[in-house]
Structure 1
Amino acid sequence: MVILLTGAAGFIGSHLTEHLLGLGHTVIGFDNFDNQYDPARKQLNLRLIKGHRNVNVIEGDIRDQTLLADVLRRYQCDTVVHLAARTGVRDSVREPALCLDVNVNGTLSLLEAMRTTNVRRLVMASSSSVYGNSTFVPFREDDDANLPLSPYAMSKRSAELLTHTYHHLHGFNVACLRFFTVYGPRQRPEMAISRFTEKMFGGQPITIFGDGNTSRNYTYIYDTVMGITSAINHLNGFDLLNIGGAASTNLRDLVSMIERAVGRKAVIDWQPNQPGDVTLTCADLHRASNRIGYFPSIQIEEGINRFVRWYQQSVLCS
């Protein structure tokens, strides 16, 4: 396959690029290297693929439909994996217009570029945030997802609806993957596991919003990459699929796991709940296992230990 991968220099995108190249695919990476976090980190994410004969990384914005169409034609792409997005619930509350412009208009730009170049295979990153504060646990793909709590959640649900429209009108084969808090080496620096680890090693307080009893379904990067790859291989019609870990983890328990891995006790700065945050995410994985053979394999404590070892070797020792 020749795969256009948007967001290729990001956390998930860089891991997926390496995996797809290892499988023998050609990857056309597309990334704008924006400053939501240090662009130098994104350049570092790509260091393992530099010089590989089956990859090209193009700097560009997904809102540039003309450029996207040119890339799809020039490299004769047959599949698109769309990971590029303006990420983060709290950032979206601060800058809702930018979030919607990138995540909704950018997705529309990509879909139109695909339509005009006759590319009909799409795997798109969505988010567990679309479920809001659902009272139906675990979250199933056929649950109502129409009460988002943040502009980010709304933008991801809107992007899902856009892809369904293109499936209906233009025969696109689409899988929207609802990711549940992905973590692991290269995780974005503002995310909890990365931020807590950095602060604990530095002897600084960690900030916890709320009472520490929120729970998240954490998904190790290896499992996420396996889920995306399986979705690529099973594209047929239109589907919504949860890609999550095996169970949800309480925030206090998560902090304890990081403390054990780091070997230091955390000093906690307790702060009020943040607008847009949900209290629980919990994935029902039956549909993903039945339709694409997805089964998470890395338990949370093992994943935390792997992340902390990577952090010690690649960040502290660099």
Structure 2
Amino acid sequence: MKYLVTGVAGFIGNFVAERLCNEGHDVIGIDNLNDYYDPNLKLARLKRIEHFENFTFIKMDISDRIAMPALFAEQQFDRVIHLAAQAGVRYSIENPMAYIDSNIVGFANILEGCRHNKVGHLVYASSSSVYGANKKVPFSTDDAVDHPVSLYAATKKSNELMAHSYSHLYNIPTTGLRFFTVYGPWGRPDMAPFLFTDAVANDREIKVFNHGKMQRDFTYIDDIVEGVIRIQNIIPSKPEPSALSDKESVIEGSPLYKIFNIGNNQPVELETFINCIENALDKKAVKNYMPMQDGDVVRTFADVSDLEKIVDYKPKTDLQYGIDQFVGWFKEYNNK
């Protein structure tokens, strides 16, 4: 099949494109290569997959209202895996319009492209941040997520609502994926694994927010990719009317719309996470305990029962193993 993978120079997009190419699909990857973090890392990721004859990279911004419709019309994609976005919770406080342009306007362009070109399935990245300060754990896709605590989270919730409306109005199968704290080799330099490893390796202190009273459901990149690939093969469909009970026939919502959590289902204390980095580097961290940051949450914890039930999969990578893999890459990439 022919796939569009957006954000192909990004962390998750790069690995998803590699997997699809290895499976023999034709992949068109787009990315605007912006400077939210070092573009050289993005270019290095692209070099990992440029050798595939069935991969084509196009530099393009998803918010471009002229280029995006033209791309869809020309390529006629079978499926779209949309992973491009302006990422980062704290940056959304500093530069909100970047999130509107990429995460709202850009997503609208993706939906319109799918609508007008009969794309068979749109799979898109949401985020665990949509759960905000929810106190019920683990976080379930059945939970209300109406109180985001950052603009980034609000844009991701908006994406889910926009996708639902297009599924309902235009019969487009859409599946949103709420990723939980993804880490691993080639990871983003604005996230804790990279920031902490870089600081400890170079004898700088690390900022430990909320005085370490934090938990994260760290999910290894290979587990994320496996989940994405399995889910994009399970296309939401409308049941036959005769198969519905009277109760089911009046349930609100589009049967072509689905949301999954992809997380490790094992929240880890921040101190434990730091210990794993110390073990991998064989070096102690210098910790600066600080208050909670605006827009952050105390805990994330994924309920992955739907993932297990529908695609027979549950992330399982051990945190120390994953951190060891990340630190090994970090040393090689930075010639340490």
TM superposition shift of 1:5: 0.5
C-alpha separation between the residues in 1 aligned to 2:265 and 2:325? 17
1:246 aligned residue (237, 248, 265)? 265
Correspondence 1:73-88 to 2 at 5 A: 73-88=73-88
C-alpha separation between the residues in 2 aligned to 1:123 and 1:73? 19
| Percent of aligned pairs sharing the same letter | 40
Alignment check: 8 A CA contact 1:6 1:30 kept? yes
C-alpha separation between the residues in 2 aligned to 1:148 and 1:187? 25
- SS of residue in 1 equivalent to 2:8: coil
Alignment check: 8 A CA contact 1:27 1:56 kept? yes
Return the letter of the residue paired with 1:89: V
The more displaced of 93-102 and 142-151 is: 93-102
Q: What does residue 57 of structure 2 align with?
A: 57
C-alpha separation between the residues in 1 aligned to 2:70 and 2:78? 14
C-alpha separation between the residues in 2 aligned to 1:98 and 1:232? 28
Q: What does residue 307 of structure 2 align with?
A: 288
CA, structure 1 residues 289+65, in 2 after alignment: closer, same or farther (shift >3 Å)?
Answer: farther
C-alpha separation between the residues in 2 aligned to 1:149 and 1:245? 23
TM superposition shift of 1:180: 0.1
- SS of residue in 2 equivalent to 1:137: coil
The more displaced of 172-181 and 265-274 is: 265-274
The C-alpha deviation readout for 1:114-141, integer Å capped at 9, x for no partner, is: 2122224100000000001111100000
Return the letter of the residue paired with 2:305: H
Question: Unmatched 5+ residue regions in structure 2?
Answer: 237-255
The answer as to 2:205 corresponding to 1:205 is: yes
Return the letter of the residue paired with 1:280: R
The more displaced of 174-183 and 101-110 is: 101-110
- SS of residue in 1 equivalent to 2:34: coil
Return the letter of the residue paired with 1:88: G
Correspondence 1:1-318 to 2 at 5 A: 1-236=1-236, 237-317=256-336
- SS of residue in 1 equivalent to 2:29: strand
TM superposition shift of 1:270: 2.2
- SS of residue in 2 equivalent to 1:176: strand
CA RMSD of aligned residues (A): 1.1
C-alpha separation between the residues in 2 aligned to 1:76 and 1:104? 23
TM superposition shift of 1:160: 0.6
C-alpha separation between the residues in 2 aligned to 1:66 and 1:226? 33
TM superposition shift of 1:312: 1.8
Question: Unmatched 5+ residue regions in structure 1?
Answer: none
Return the letter of the residue paired with 1:123: V
C-alpha separation between the residues in 2 aligned to 1:147 and 1:246? 22
TM superposition shift of 1:305: 1.2
The C-alpha deviation readout for 1:274-302, integer Å capped at 9, x for no partner, is: 10000000000101111122211311111
Structure 1 residue ranges, 4+ long, deviating more than 4 angstroms after superposition:
none
Alignment check: 8 A CA contact 2:216 2:299 kept? yes
Query: Which has the larger Rg?
Result: 2
The C-alpha deviation readout for 1:235-256, integer Å capped at 9, x for no partner, is: 2121110000130001011111
TM superposition shift of 1:67: 1.5
TM superposition shift of 1:304: 0.9
Alignment check: 8 A CA contact 2:114 2:122 kept? no
- SS of residue in 2 equivalent to 1:63: coil
TM-score by length of 1: 0.97
- SS of residue in 2 equivalent to 1:185: coil
Alignment check: 8 A CA contact 1:65 1:113 kept? no
Alignment check: 8 A CA contact 1:65 1:112 kept? no
Aligned pairs, number: 317
C-alpha separation between the residues in 1 aligned to 2:226 and 2:309? 15
TM superposition shift of 1:158: 0.3
C-alpha separation between the residues in 2 aligned to 1:169 and 1:211? 47
